Structure 1
Amino acid sequence: MTPALRSPDAAADARSGKGRATRAVILDAALTHALHAGLEGLSIGLLAEHTRMSKSGVFAHFGSREELQIAVIREYHRRFSAEVFEPALRVPRGLPRLRVLFENWLERVTAELAAGCIYISGAVEFDDRPGAVRDALVAMVADWHAALERAIELALDEGHLRAEADAVQLRFEIHGLILAVHHDARLLRRDDAPRRARAGFDRIVERWAAAPGGADATVSPSPAARG
């Protein structure tokens, strides 16, 4: 069914400072729900109930279910970047930064085990469903992959990794460790999954390090992986 048009008053309120604050509240509720029930579990009506607003009030901020899903993907990506990527920029580039990126990523995935990861659950829901939601999800994941590959390339530029190392291949392998943690910890209830992922990351670094033990003295195996 085609949704009713937004009224001028509702649209104006959505653009105001109060409207932006209300939108943030709705978006936070939507993201919380999507982490547990997936993007397909979202609806205007559900959020109206959760936020104790009218459907028209929610609709003023998100004109369709698809628009809502895309907004949730972008908000998840914003928070992911703030927690995983941005803190790593304060670390010297090269292997030190790459290790912090991986550790931040692993910590976020571990914290999400009780709920879920939009990147992973969204892939299951939309990997074979062309459309705007899938496009938004692909764009966000591609953006993160590009950042990770750039961190690997900087490690190459700094001489921390051997020149023949393939940044795309290393990104693929590192991403695979995160997916394995999500699978083993959530499905199999394996408490040792994060430790094994750290050990896997250390092996990748050792295999491609420019010199035995790594090219930078600040780069050392994760304590948790050694324990």
Structure 2
Amino acid sequence: MARQQERARRTRAAIVRSAAAEFAKRGFAAASINAILEQSNATKGAMYFHFASKEDLARAVLDEGIEHYRAIVDKWMDAPGLDPFQRLRGMVGDLGAALHDDVIIAAEFRLVTEPEFIGEARLRGSTVWGRAGYQLAVQAQEQGLFKPGVDLRRFVEAVASSLAGQRYLVDLTSPVVDVRARFEACLEVPLEAMASEEWLAKWREHGWPEISPEAGSMP
């Protein structure tokens, strides 16, 4: 029984990952069930054992995407030895890298722009990291890292809208692009306008800290 359950778990995981690749590439409507089955080496019967429909399969991809976002957020929220802006930069950079390297997150981003799921966008990954970003902004304000009077929600919204726009631009241009660097720039521009002069002076002199992959952070 345990062996059968493990086989079923692996089959389901393979189908979800194959579906994510297909959704990320073609979108929901144009995605091919046959292509998903071929890439996952699963039968149609196995797919419909786990998922009632193509939409059900897409929702499984969306749900797994949330878990991937949470893993990125959890990695950075309490990263030791970093101020809130540095942790936010690590989070944003990892999100950019994941949109390029993590097929689940790439599919989640594509699916929430589709008519079938656009109403759920606020329940998905952007909300997970948006809340975390706001918490880090609150911490930064408490530590005096913002200029006086900065509207934190406006700051987070400016970063979020820049990230979304940058992602669409990446799709329209070349796939060979440093998405991490572009995402980090989406944070740096608002910081240059809203961070305290003291923090900006240190940042301009020393730049961002180098953190090794062994420490569980960005390279």
TM-score when normalising by structure 2: 0.73
Of 26, 51, 66, the residue aligned with 2:40 is: 51
CA change 1:151–1:215 in 2 (3 A) is farther
Are 2:17 and 2:104, in contact at CA under 8 Å, matched by a contact in 1? no
Are 2:61 and 2:104, in contact at CA under 8 Å, matched by a contact in 1? no
CA change 1:32–1:181 in 2 (3 A) is same
Q: Kindly indicate which of the two structures has a greater share of residues assigned to helix.
A: 2
CA change 1:144–1:118 in 2 (3 A) is farther
| Unpaired runs of at least 5, structure 2 | 210-219
Of 166, 169, 174, the residue aligned with 2:154 is: 169
Aligned pair count reads 204
CA change 1:78–1:116 in 2 (3 A) is closer
Of 57, 70, 74, the residue aligned with 1:86 is: 74
Of 31, 52, 63, the residue aligned with 2:52 is: 63
Instruction: State the AA in 2 paired with 1:100.
Output: G
CA change 1:188–1:64 in 2 (3 A) is closer
Are 1:184 and 1:193, in contact at CA under 8 Å, matched by a contact in 2? no
Look up the match of 1:5: none
TM-score when normalising by structure 1: 0.71
Of 186, 195, 220, the residue aligned with 2:171 is: 186
CA change 1:109–1:19 in 2 (3 A) is closer
CA change 1:137–1:19 in 2 (3 A) is farther
CA change 1:204–1:157 in 2 (3 A) is same
Instruction: State the AA in 1 paired with 2:163.
Output: I
Look up the match of 1:36: 25
Look up the match of 1:207: 193
Match of 1:16, SS state, is helix
CA distance in 1, matches of 2:21, 2:182: 28
CA change 1:55–1:86 in 2 (3 A) is same
Instruction: Tell me which structure has the larger Cα radius of gyration.
Output: 1
Q: Structure 1 residue 158 and structure 2 residue 143: aligned?
A: yes
Instruction: State the AA in 2 paired with 1:118.
Output: A
CA distance in 1, matches of 2:205, 2:9: 43
Task: Using the TM superposition, give the Cα deviation of residue 139 of structure 1 relative to its aligned residue in structure 2, in angstroms.
Answer: 0.8
CA distance in 2, matches of 1:197, 1:17: 38
Match of 2:7, SS state, is helix
Are 2:144 and 2:196, in contact at CA under 8 Å, matched by a contact in 1? yes
Structure 1 runs of 4+ aligned residues shifted over 6 Å read: 215-219
Q: Structure 1 residue 138 and structure 2 residue 128: aligned?
A: no
Q: Structure 1 residue 97 and structure 2 residue 81: aligned?
A: no
Task: Using the TM superposition, give the Cα deviation of residue 28 of structure 1 relative to its aligned residue in structure 2, in angstroms.
Answer: 1.2
Q: Percent identity?
A: 18
| Unpaired runs of at least 5, structure 1 | 1-11
- The C-alpha deviation readout for 1:23-81, integer Å capped at 9, x for no partner, is 11111111121111123344655433333332121111112222111001111222233
Instruction: State the AA in 1 paired with 2:160.
Output: H
RMSD of aligned residue pairs (Cα, Å): 3.6
